[in-house]
A and B are shown apart, each in its own frame.
Chain A
Amino acid sequence: MTGETRELEYDYSRLVVPFGPVHPALKEPVHFKVFVKKEEVVDVGLRLGHVHRGIEALAETRNLVQAMYLVERVCGICSHSHTTCFVGALEEIGRIQPSERALYLRTLVFELERLHSHLLWLGIMAYEIGFDTLFMFAFNTREAVLDLFEEITGNRVHHSMNVIGGVRWDLDGRMVEKVGRSMSKVREAAQRIREIFQDKTVEERLSGVGLLDRGAAQELCTVGPTARGSGLKTDVRKEDPYAAYGALEGSFSIVTRTEGDAYARTEVRIFEIFETINMINEILARLPGGSIRPGETIIRSMNRVPQGEAVSRVEAPRGELLYYVRTDGKGGLRRLKVRTPTLANIVGLRQMLIGGEVADIPVVVASIDPCLSCTNRITVIDLDKGGAGEPLRRRRRKWPH
């Protein structure tokens, strides 16, 4: 012993529990400073920026085709949403109209992606509430969808499906049948997952937890299932149809719940799985003929995009994803801005967490389905606390514009 005395005192009236940046409940780093009083959360501080990757700046150094592969890597779950959004903006700038079949195939992969994303999320949610068996079951079900991706596009995660003016891979009759068969299997599994989530122990953990009322949801501009769980009837697929959603408008409906708690958000996602399966079956039934991509080289398509700017929105599995794209007319990008759905939803977390219990933090955080490294667009540097900002700014200047 060194002889020094050490005081060990806990101020239980206001204990600061660091939640993250490294925490088993978080798939990715984010830091919540949680002020707790016994088991009750009294305040929450949020800090983002641990995994800022500089994707926007990097995209400005590349040409449009290269940037497509880059934006696909913004997210490891909704990769197709990002390319669809990006390519939507490019096609708007270049006034390029993809063929009907290409749009349907884009939509098909988009919905398959929503399916696997929601299944993944249901598994994560089960894990957060300590229900490992359901986690395993959900992930096993999701595997069927990933296998479909692999067969359709050759890749399980980053599908590289979109090109300017079309898609890369076609579906033959055998594959159409196979997707249909898988869908009925997934539907059965999803039915079981729904039944398990209706179990009392699960409901007890989720209902009344992480409340976000309709007014707050609207005020904080939440999107996607988070907003729909609070009763906001919002869905880009209906409001601003892209790809083939305009033609498919009648084949799906917006799922909303008014309770605004974690259970409502769970229910929204479960029922969206069924909506998605219906839509996939509809797409398979109505798949039009024709070519899937323009008969010209990628470079030629790229060069047909003039100087211009566009905003593009898609309904990613987590909500509205927004891209602002400004092209330079020479096959490059002048500016790219990505607003991922999590950024819109994460500000609602403070509201949801305050007044809750420590035990609910992982459930509430998971309930918005955060995708954090996709969200990290900026790194905030406190210049008063250290001079780390200066070298970073200098490095930024070196990147060409």
Chain B
Amino acid sequence: MAALAALLASLPAAVFLSLLFEGIDRKLHARMQGRIGPPVTQPFYDFAKLLNKESVFPSSSSKAIFASAPVIAAASSILAGAIPLASLVAGTSVVGDLILILYLLTMSSIMVMIGGSSSGNPYGAIGFSRKMVMLIGYEVPLLASILPLSLKSQHSFSYHGIVQSQVGMGTCFAFAYPSSAFAAAAFLACIPAAAGVVPFDVPEAKTEIVHGYLVEYGGPHLALARLAKDAASFALSFLALTLFFYHPPLFEGHASLGGLASAILCVAFAPAMMFLTVTVPRTVFARLKVGQAFKFCWSLPLTLSALSVVLSAAGF
């Protein structure tokens, strides 16, 4: 019952944190470019503004899919952000929920993609095909980088189980074994692609295909589609921190405060992850072409994750 309450409370928290993280990201991005940048609260204003606007459905779209896709996408990625939060707070989780979280993130990408392609716009169609390629590019190394963690924590695919096994070891996975260190590197290298930021924002490249799958969206549906993206990058940076960098002396918190304290600490440190994997790449790199992006995903992250799987299977 407490777990359910924690999950319900985590949903609005995940929405809030997703938007807040986008605000932090935009501010840091601007400061690195020598600009003042928008206030951290800007994404909230944008979100509220878009919610109050009209949604226009193109006549060439298949309306049911076009309208429902962003809703499902936002719901999945918010859930993907809320589940880890809730399990940290409640101190418990369901068996195999880590797989659920990763598939919810994929679901969110797929739904936005399908929504875009159902718009009947050629840019949406190109965005669809590019996102498809990117999905194949980063999903494989991303999922493979989770395997070593599972092997090192008694074959568990429970999110909380993996976090707790770091407590048991007294150190975080990124520094515990060579295999998990490689896995951490692979996971981090996949985040820019999974979050869809420059240099991997090929599916929505605004100067090439006018935001690709988002091209026909407006109003509340655009707000939800963007929220889905924000929530995905929040979920990814939060996962990266808790799965690989949950250093017990730092994050365990006081026994009296329990899970809530460590969840708050993790949230406070997660922007550092986001800074490394979202803000820095999108500030210092130019956009890649879809072929180049795919080649990157299947060279560096895939090698790293394959290496980590092999190493962990060999017991390192």
* Most A CB within 10 A of own CB, among B33, B34, B199, B289: B289
Number of interface residues of A (CB under 8 A): 35
Nearest chain B residue, comparing its CB with the CB of A209: B289
Q: Known contacts A131-B287, A136-B35, A201-B199; decide if A24 and B122 are in contact (CB<8 Å).
A: no
Nearest chain A residue, comparing its CB with the CB of B210: A24
Q: Known contacts A205-B288, A357-B289; decide if A15 and B125 are in contact (CB<8 Å).
A: yes
A42 within 8 A of B: no
A-B contacts, CB under 8 A, total: 83
User: Are B289 and A359 in contact, with the CB atoms below 8 A?
Assistant: yes
User: Are B123 and A132 in contact, with the CB atoms below 8 A?
Assistant: no
A365–B17 CA distance with the chains assembled, in angstroms: 40
User: Are A128 and B34 in contact, with the CB atoms below 8 A?
Assistant: no
CB distance from A135 to the nearest CB of B (A): 9
A358 within 8 A of B: yes
B62 within 8 A of A: yes
Residues of B within 8 A of A132 (CB): 33, 198, 282-283
A361–B201 CA distance with the chains assembled, in angstroms: 16
A311 within 8 A of B: no
Residues of A within 8 A of B201 (CB): 130
User: Are B34 and A130 in contact, with the CB atoms below 8 A?
Assistant: no
Residues of B within 8 A of A15 (CB): 122, 125
Q: Known contacts A8-B60, A8-B118, A359-B208; decide if A204 and B292 are in contact (CB<8 Å).
A: yes
Contact bitstring B97-126, A, C-beta under 8 A = 1, else 0: 000000000000000000000101011011
Residues of A349-401 at the interface with B, using a CB-CB cut-off of 8 Å, are 357-362
Residues of A263-317 at the interface with B, using a CB-CB cut-off of 8 Å, are none
Interchain CB contact (< 8 A) of B286 among A10, A17, A201: A201
User: Are A6 and B284 in contact, with the CB atoms below 8 A?
Assistant: no
Interchain CB contact (< 8 A) of B120 among A8, A24, A129, A360: A8
User: Are B207 and A137 in contact, with the CB atoms below 8 A?
Assistant: no
CB distance from B205 to the nearest CB of A (A): 6
Residues of B within 8 A of A146 (CB): none
A359–B126 CA distance with the chains assembled, in angstroms: 10
B136 within 8 A of A: no
User: Are B283 and A17 in contact, with the CB atoms below 8 A?
Assistant: no
Q: Known contacts A15-B122, A202-B286; decide if A133 and B32 are in contact (CB<8 Å).
A: yes
Nearest chain A residue, comparing its CB with the CB of B197: A130
Q: Known contacts A130-B199, A359-B208; decide if A6 and B60 are in contact (CB<8 Å).
A: yes
Residues of A17-40 at the interface with B, using a CB-CB cut-off of 8 Å, are 17-18, 23-25, 38-39
User: Are A24 and B60 in contact, with the CB atoms below 8 A?
Assistant: no
Residues of B within 8 A of A133 (CB): 32-33, 283-284
B3 within 8 A of A: no
User: Are A359 and B290 in contact, with the CB atoms below 8 A?
Assistant: yes
A251 within 8 A of B: no
A140 within 8 A of B: yes
User: Are B286 and A130 in contact, with the CB atoms below 8 A?
Assistant: yes
Residues of A within 8 A of B129 (CB): 38-39
Nearest chain B residue, comparing its CB with the CB of A366: B207
Contact bitstring A1-21, B, C-beta under 8 A = 1, else 0: 000001010100001111000
Q: Known contacts A15-B122, A129-B286, A131-B286; decide if A137 and B33 are in contact (CB<8 Å).
A: yes
A252 within 8 A of B: no
Q: Known contacts A8-B118, A130-B205; decide if A201 and B285 are in contact (CB<8 Å).
A: yes
Nearest chain B residue, comparing its CB with the CB of A127: B207
CB distance from B215 to the nearest CB of A (A): 10
User: Are B122 and A359 in contact, with the CB atoms below 8 A?
Assistant: no
Residues of A within 8 A of B289 (CB): 204-205, 357, 359-360
B202 within 8 A of A: yes
User: Are A136 and B34 in contact, with the CB atoms below 8 A?
Assistant: yes
User: Are A25 and B207 in contact, with the CB atoms below 8 A?
Assistant: yes
A126 within 8 A of B: yes
User: Are B125 and A362 in contact, with the CB atoms below 8 A?
Assistant: no
A190–B12 CA distance with the chains assembled, in angstroms: 47
Nearest chain B residue, comparing its CB with the CB of A204: B292
User: Are B198 and A130 in contact, with the CB atoms below 8 A?
Assistant: yes
CB distance from B174 to the nearest CB of A (A): 26
User: Are A137 and B199 in contact, with the CB atoms below 8 A?
Assistant: no
Interchain CB contact (< 8 A) of B208 among A25, A134, A199: A25
Residues of A177-195 at the interface with B, using a CB-CB cut-off of 8 Å, are none
* Most B CB within 10 A of own CB, among A136, A140, A359: A359
Contact bitstring A108-147, B, C-beta under 8 A = 1, else 0: 0000000000000000001111111110110010000000
Contact bitstring B267-311, A, C-beta under 8 A = 1, else 0: 000000000000000111111111010000000000000000000
CB distance from A166 to the nearest CB of B (A): 40
Nearest chain B residue, comparing its CB with the CB of A125: B286
Q: Known contacts A25-B207, A359-B202; decide if A137 and B34 are in contact (CB<8 Å).
A: yes
A-B contact pairs, 27 of them (CB 8 A): A8-B60, A8-B120, A10-B125, A15-B122, A15-B125, A128-B207, A129-B207, A130-B199, A130-B205, A130-B207, A131-B198, A131-B285, A131-B287, A132-B33, A133-B283, A133-B284, A137-B33, A137-B34, A201-B286, A202-B286, A204-B288, A204-B292, A205-B287, A205-B288, A205-B289, A359-B290, A362-B207
CB-CB nearest 10 A-B residue pairs? A130-B287, A131-B286, A136-B33, A25-B207, A129-B286, A362-B207, A359-B289, A201-B286, A130-B198, A17-B122
Q: Which residues of A does B touch, CB under 8 Å?
A: 6, 8, 10, 15-18, 23-25, 38-39, 126-134, 136-137, 140, 199, 201-202, 204-205, 357-362
